[in-house]
Amino acid sequence: KVYVACQSMLIVLVGAMPEYRIDQEGIPASKAELAKHIHFTSNFTSIVTEASTSIAPWYLIEQEAYKVSLASSLFFAGLLIGNITFGPLSDKLGRKPVYISGLFFDVLFGYVTALAPNYGVFAVSRFFVGIVNGGMALVSFVLTQEYVGKSFWSFTGSLTNLTFAVGIAVYALLGYCVREWRHLALVSNTPGVIFLLLSFMLPESPRWLYSQGKTAEAEDVMQYIALGNGKERLNLKLKPSAGTSRKDESPPGILNLVKHPVLRWRTIVLMYIWYVCSLVYYGLTLNAGELGGNLYLNVALYGLVEVPAFPLCMFFIEKPWSGRRKTMMCFLIFAGFACMFTMFLPKNSGLLLSPTLLALCGKMMVSAAFNIVYIYTSELYPTVLRNAGLGVCSMSCRFGGILAPFVPSMKSLSPSVPLVVFGISGLSAGFLTLLLPETLNKPIAESIEDLQSPKYRVLINEKA
């Protein structure tokens, strides 16, 4: 996740707009002529200042400035495609091969980004990095969850998302030390090579093997894990999975999310919650106010403000009186109220009641909800469809991220309209969470057939 964070945040520093001046009136007709008159005053380089050739420097300023945002949009478009494709692939081919393939191409296209001879190659490489980065991150999250027992899912899920927030701060530190953008892209991409080599030591997911009827392989992986934990060799024998008893049927696909009523409504509600989490998260980031001062410190704070959210998650989601559902509902509602209250505060209201501080608290709340929805969603889908379900939900999440920057433009109608949109979205998603079942201390469905059991079909908490 540290590597994923560096790739996700790359454009923030690599595409930073430095201060500059042009020592003549008007913009020169050609970039070659512009190179003679433009002077950048900042002590770092970016794709904006790139002048790899004197004939065709990049110089993404004035009318060309949109290309920085375009490269960022292409990355998020790639994430959307990766979330859709990698989930079903890993459900059919296995977690480990899809994860390692995605990480390999992520590293490969990351080096293409750093060595891009022109903007076109840079933009296309960012698109492909988005595809493999988003897909690989999704599969690695599921693989991590399926290595451990369900009682540890909240811990591993929170720790995984925590390292993403820490990764943002690590990237800011790298950017502070490495001011040349090509060197920064190379340095932040190189750890991927180390992680790729280490990943070959990982076993396949025992849950996926079991869901595919490969009980012998699943038993071997569990023996391997037990020995690694310092336990003696176990006399382990798994019962055949109910979902793999009929070999003549095709394996479950993404259409099963629509065919089965339980999964259909569950997916619709989860897609909306994921969409709102992304919309409010990025919306609050944009509306928290433009932080002045050091660029690298701001990027670090962008990640570190999320860190307190994860201990809160781990505490509440394991308590019987709160669980996954109620905790996520409360965090979403608090984030919604933070948006609504922000519009009533004047900008010069002081530190303790400043709109920026309240918006950052709201961002911490929605970060906590974002963390829970990853864990919660993975528990709501059976193993044979877990990646497909997470992939579809992540797809709706990317739409929220794409739309978030456009919501602030609604200030032309009224200054409070964007905050009302974010607030209503957070509140509505919070209350819709009540339609989902609680998963705390409940068994995990391995196959679609398990969903027909009353213990999986319950929509509200039932008394023991």
Q: Write the pLDDT tens digit of every residue in 114-173.
A: 999 888 899 999 999 999 998 999 899 889 988 988 788 878 888 888 888 889 889 989
Q: Give the lowest-confidence range in 245-249, 322-326, 361-365.
A: 245-249
CATH number at residue 87: 1.20.1250.20
Residue after which a domain boundary falls, among 239, 267, 294 = 239
- Residues 51 and 139 grouped into a single domain: yes
pLDDT for res 53:
46
Task: Say whether pLDDT at 86 is over 70.
Answer: yes
Residue after which a domain boundary falls, among 181, 211, 239 = 239
Percent of the chain with pLDDT over 70: 80
Residue 436 binned pLDDT confidence (cut-offs 50, 70, 90): very high
pTM equals: 0.76
Span 337-342, mean pLDDT? 82
Q: Which of 314, 108, 431 is nearest to 322 (CA)?
A: 314
Residue-wise pLDDT for 160-196, tens only, equals 888 888 898 899 899 999 988 899 999 999 999 999 9
Task: Say whether pLDDT at 414 is over 70.
Answer: yes
Instruction: Kindly state whether residue 376 falls inside one of the protein's structural domains.
Output: yes
Instruction: Kindly state whether residue 283 falls inside one of the protein's structural domains.
Output: yes
189: domain range? 1-200
Span 282-311, mean pLDDT? 70
Instruction: Kindly state whether residue 270 falls inside one of the protein's structural domains.
Output: yes
Please say whether the beta carbons of 293 and 155 come within 8 A.
no
- Residues 70 and 219 grouped into a single domain: no
pLDDT for res 286:
55
pLDDT for res 56:
54
Residue after which a domain boundary falls, among 239, 265, 300 = 239
- Residues 278 and 336 grouped into a single domain: yes
Residue 249 binned pLDDT confidence (cut-offs 50, 70, 90): low
Span 94-114, mean pLDDT? 94
- Residues 143 and 227 grouped into a single domain: no
Instruction: Kindly state whether residue 368 falls inside one of the protein's structural domains.
Output: yes
Residue-wise pLDDT for 6-62, tens only, equals 998 888 888 877 766 666 665 555 555 555 566 666 677 878 777 654 445 676 666
pLDDT for res 289:
42
Mean pLDDT of the chain: 81
- Residues 88 and 136 grouped into a single domain: yes
pLDDT for res 259:
81
Task: Say whether pLDDT at 461 is over 50.
Answer: no
Full 3-state SS string of the chain:
CHHHHHHHCHHHHHCCCCCEEECCCCCCCCHHHHCCCEEECCCCCCCCCCCCCCCCCCCCCHHHCHHHHHHHHHHHHHHHHHHHHHHHHHHHHCHHHHHHHHHHHHHHHHHHHHCCCCHHHHHHHHHHHHHHHHHHHHHHHHHHHHHCCHHHHHHHHHHHHHHHHHHHHHHHHHHHHCCCHHHHHHHHHCHHHHHHHHHCCCCCCHHHHHHCCCHHHHHHHHHHHHHHCCCCCCCCCCCCCHHHCCCCCCCCCCCHHHHCHHHHHHHHHHHHHHHHHHHHHHHHHHHCCCCCCCHHHHHHHHHHCCCCHHHHHHHHCCCCCCHHHHHHHHHHHHHHHHHHHHCCCCCCCCCCCCHHHHHHHHHHHHHHHHHHHHHHHHHHCCHHHHHHHHHHHHHHHHHHHHHHHHHHHHHHCCCCHHHHHHHHHHHHHHHHHHHCCCCCCCCCCCCHHHHHCHHHHCCCCCCC
Domain count, the chain: 3
Residue 458 binned pLDDT confidence (cut-offs 50, 70, 90): very low
- Residues 338 and 454 grouped into a single domain: yes
Query: Which residue has better confidence, 95 or 401?
Result: 95
Task: Say whether pLDDT at 245 is over 50.
Answer: no
pLDDT for res 327:
95
Instruction: Kindly state whether residue 218 falls inside one of the protein's structural domains.
Output: yes
- Residues 183 and 224 grouped into a single domain: no
Q: Which two tokens stand for residue 155?
A: 């811990």
Query: Which residue has better confidence, 301 or 271?
Result: 271
Instruction: Kindly state whether residue 193 falls inside one of the protein's structural domains.
Output: yes
- Residues 286 and 393 grouped into a single domain: yes
pLDDT for res 432:
94
Instruction: Kindly state whether residue 245 falls inside one of the protein's structural domains.
Output: no
Instruction: Kindly state whether residue 248 falls inside one of the protein's structural domains.
Output: no
pLDDT for res 375:
86
Query: Which residue has better confidence, 32 or 285?
Result: 285
Residue 273 binned pLDDT confidence (cut-offs 50, 70, 90): very high
Query: Which residue has better confidence, 205 or 455?
Result: 205
Q: Which two tokens stand for residue 447?
A: 């196959």
- Residues 178 and 209 grouped into a single domain: no
Task: Say whether pLDDT at 108 is over 90.
Answer: yes
Query: Which residue has better confidence, 76 or 167?
Result: 167
Task: Say whether pLDDT at 403 is over 80.
Answer: no
Residue-wise pLDDT for 221-233, tens only, equals 989 988 888 888 7
- Residues 208 and 196 grouped into a single domain: no
- Residues 235 and 319 grouped into a single domain: no
Residue-wise pLDDT for 340-377, tens only, equals 887 776 656 555 566 667 777 888 899 899 889 988 99
- Residues 277 and 234 grouped into a single domain: no
Q: Which two tokens stand for residue 12?
A: 């923030």
pLDDT for res 45:
81
Q: Give the lowest-confidence range in 2-11, 246-255, 399-408.
A: 246-255
